[in-house]
Amino acid sequence: MATPAATPTQASHLDLDALIASLPACKRCRDCRRGCDTLLPKCRQCTKAGVECMFYDHGRNTLLPRTYIAQLVDEVRRLSASHLPSPAETASTLQATPSAVKTPSTAKAESVASDQNHFDHHFAYAGGSYRYLGADSCLVKSPRLQPAGVSSPDMDEEDWAAVNSEPALGTFELVELYLDAVQPMYPILDLSLRFLQPELPSDLTPPEIFSLNMIYTIACHFYPGTNANYLPSGKLSFHHARFCRYRLYGQQFFDEATKYLEASTVETTIATLRAVLLLAVNSLFDPKSGNIGQQVALAARLALNLEKQDLSPEDTTLLRNMQATIFSIENEIASTLDRPATFPEPDWELCFDPEKPCDYLCSLYRLQHRFRKGDKSFSSLPLLDDKGCLKPGLRMALHQTHLLINPCWGTAWYVLEAVVSQGSIHTFLTPHWVYRAGTVLIQGLPSLFEGNLLQLYSNALVVLNLSNGKWRSSASLAASLGDLLKQMKIQCQPEWDPRYTTIGDVSM
């Protein structure tokens, strides 16, 4: 059931006429019970009446004009005629570097929903398919449009020797790590599953082997940043070596898992949905391993189909948790990359009980979803966790929600404090929030004490430079942050203590 990624060759052979012929009837023709054609930019009836031709878009859950489709068709034809592989040609990961996204004047496909509302679309080609970045994505808005000079430090023999001297985690330790850190947030596993036990049966089925290896893979991605001995050395290259070591382990497990992918996704079952969600969770750490947008969309379709089946009480509870996971992942991406989210919001009450981390996390993303749709009432949003009572993952999501709703230096402070706290797990989306918090913080420069700014700015640089070893766009974000601080210093000319006059020139 895995969805193959579209290649530039396949995309260039799209039958546009067939796609246009499948357009739904417009709202006016439906209301008048008249036959509607598929002419662009308006149907014949709307052209005669001199009105806008609107149709209902089920993905956005709103009415859109056919001029929107006409502009998309024109853009596809233009690209096909010029033999370009993508509106933005080069990108190495899902979070493509700003240099991979063309400037708005050359790579912006504008669709007009009304005279007042404009939607800017930015695309990048990565991993065999197109990736979408909204106009408010920090990668699009980042001032650094050229490749950053920041690069991963060389990992010398001393670094490798120090890293390899540490005993590697055993497979069951990886399972325990996953169950402790990921399962509470995304409870997609039934804890009674036999492959989660210390002693593995000798007759594991292909879906069980697939799930087990995906668990190993995911744990390998985040373990280096969460273990208690995270800072035995001040060398940045040492940490890159450790990440690299476990990334290699994780890739071996992932390669083994993919051998059983097809056998694990044959039927519409809870096990199949679990397999797809494990792929999506893995893509949060390794976006080049798959298209997380397609994986979440496939999981959403499976979940909606499973709702129609007669499930046991245990599977019904598990499906509810999986639906909450789908909603959380999709909306985390939507808030970060400014993308649309289409999976329906759960109908249960908002829950901010720390003992129910999955419901807590989903409730935060429900508030983010409502905020993006224009709802400004957030009386139920918990206060900032200034005492560190929540799990690191919940604490991070809570502070990000506050930053999204109220972007000020205070909420930015909490994000940059939480991101370096013990046990925090970083995904490829984390650098985006660090950059967003850093820009908000720097823009409040005139009102900040220089010592506080130095500490928080350093936090941002540390995270972005550590992330650069895994997600290359982090280097460009770090460089953009430095550029912004230098510009603000020139603009504001703050009267700082001489000890802080070089802030902004910090190098790792």
CATH of residue 56: 4.10.240.10
Q: Are 28 and 134 part of one and the same domain?
A: no
In a domain, 19, yes or no: yes
Calpha distance 441→311 (Å, rounded): 49
Residue 384's pLDDT is 95
Bridge partners of residue 125, in order along the sequence: 130
Calpha distance 281→326 (Å, rounded): 10
Calpha distance 96→449 (Å, rounded): 34
Q: Are 334 and 213 part of one and the same domain?
A: yes
Q: Which range (12-16, 60-64, 363-367) has the least confidence?
A: 12-16
pLDDT at 354 over 50: yes
pLDDT at 375 over 90: no
107, 119, 474 from 135: Cα distances, Å: 11, 8, 19
Instruction: Bin 291: left if φ > 0, else alpha if -120 < ψ < 50, else beta.
Output: beta
DSSP code string of 56-84: EETTTTEEEEHHHHHHHHHHHHHHHHHT-
182-235 pLDDT tens trace: 999 999 999 999 999 999 999 999 999 999 999 999 999 988 766 544 444 456
Q: Which of these three, 40, 55, 85, is where a domain ends?
A: 85
Calpha distance 155→402 (Å, rounded): 38
Between 489 and 371, whose confidence is greater? 371
In a domain, 119, yes or no: yes
DSSP designation for 170 = P
> Using 50, 70 and 90 to split pLDDT, how confident is the model at 239?
low
Determine the structural domain holding residue 117 and report its residue range.
Answer: 88-141
Contacts of 172 (CB under 8 A, 6+ apart): 198
Residue 41's pLDDT is 84
Q: What tokens appear for 278 in the block?
A: 């494990």
Average pLDDT over residues 401-408: 94
DSSP designation for 225 = G
Between 234 and 396, whose confidence is greater? 396
Average pLDDT score, the chain = 78
Q: Which of these three, 85, 101, 121, is where a domain ends?
A: 85
In a domain, 299, yes or no: yes
Q: What tokens appear for 396 in the block?
A: 């991070």
- Collapsing DSSP to helix, strand or coil, 373 comes out as coil
Residue 189's pLDDT is 97
Q: State which of 15-19, 287-291, 450-454 shows the largest mean pLDDT.
A: 287-291
Q: Are 187 and 113 part of one and the same domain?
A: no
> Using 50, 70 and 90 to split pLDDT, how confident is the model at 382?
very high
Calpha distance 478→458 (Å, rounded): 11
Calpha distance 277→299 (Å, rounded): 7
pLDDT at 122 over 70: no
In a domain, 104, yes or no: yes
Q: Which of these three, 357, 372, 399, is where a domain ends?
A: 357
> Using 50, 70 and 90 to split pLDDT, how confident is the model at 328?
very high
Q: What tokens appear for 507 in the block?
A: 């190098």
Residue 471's pLDDT is 83
pTM, two decimals, is: 0.69
DSSP code string of 2-30: PPPPPPHHHHHT--HHHHHHTPPPPHHHH
Between 104 and 492, whose confidence is greater? 492
Q: State which of 91-95, 137-141, 151-155, 321-325 shows the largest mean pLDDT.
A: 321-325
- Residue 49 CA, chain-centre distance (Å), reads 44
Calpha distance 46→97 (Å, rounded): 43
Residue length of the chain: 508
Q: Are 186 and 135 part of one and the same domain?
A: no
Contacts of 498 (CB under 8 A, 6+ apart): none
Q: Are 167 and 285 part of one and the same domain?
A: yes
Average pLDDT over residues 88-102: 38
Contact yes or no for 26/36 (Cβ under 8 A) = yes
Q: How much of the chain exceeds pLDDT 70, in percent?
A: 71
Residue 236: how many CB atoms within 10 A of its CB? 18
In a domain, 401, yes or no: yes
pLDDT at 468 over 70: yes
pLDDT at 291 over 60: yes
CB-based burial of residue 161 (10 Å sphere; 0-12 exposed, 13-18 middle, 19+ buried)? Answer: exposed
Q: State which of 303-317, 447-461, 485-499 shows the largest mean pLDDT.
A: 303-317
Instruction: Bin 338: left if φ > 0, else alpha if -120 < ψ < 50, else beta.
Output: left
Indicate the number of domains in the chain. Answer: 4
In a domain, 22, yes or no: yes
Q: Are 330 and 479 part of one and the same domain?
A: no
Q: CA torsion angle for 431, 432, 437, 440 (degrees, to 10)?
A: 140
Calpha distance 339→322 (Å, rounded): 21
> Using 50, 70 and 90 to split pLDDT, how confident is the model at 102?
very low
Q: Are 113 and 50 part of one and the same domain?
A: no
pLDDT at 149 over 60: no
> Using 50, 70 and 90 to split pLDDT, how confident is the model at 476?
confident
Residue 59's pLDDT is 65
In a domain, 301, yes or no: yes
Contacts of 281 (CB under 8 A, 6+ apart): 182, 186, 188, 218, 329
Residue 82's pLDDT is 57
pLDDT at 132 over 70: no
Q: Are 396 and 447 part of one and the same domain?
A: yes
29-83 pLDDT tens trace: 888 877 888 888 888 888 888 888 988 876 667 788 888 888 888 777 777 665 4
Q: CA torsion angle for 461, 467, 471, 473 (degrees, to 10)?
A: 0
Q: Are 51 and 99 part of one and the same domain?
A: no
Q: Are 69 and 96 part of one and the same domain?
A: no
Q: Are 427 and 442 part of one and the same domain?
A: yes
∠181-182-188 over CA atoms, to 5°? Answer: 145
In a domain, 152, yes or no: no
Contact yes or no for 436/392 (Cβ under 8 A) = no
Q: Are strands 109-112 and 129-134 parallel, antiparallel or unpaired?
A: unpaired
Average pLDDT over residues 86-95: 38
Calpha distance 397→352 (Å, rounded): 12
Q: Are 194 and 176 part of one and the same domain?
A: yes
pLDDT at 434 over 50: yes
> For 89-107, b where at least 16 C-beta lie within 10 A, e where not — what string?
eebbbbbbbbbbbbeeeeb
260, 298, 323, 343, 417 from 307: Cα distances, Å: 26, 14, 10, 14, 41
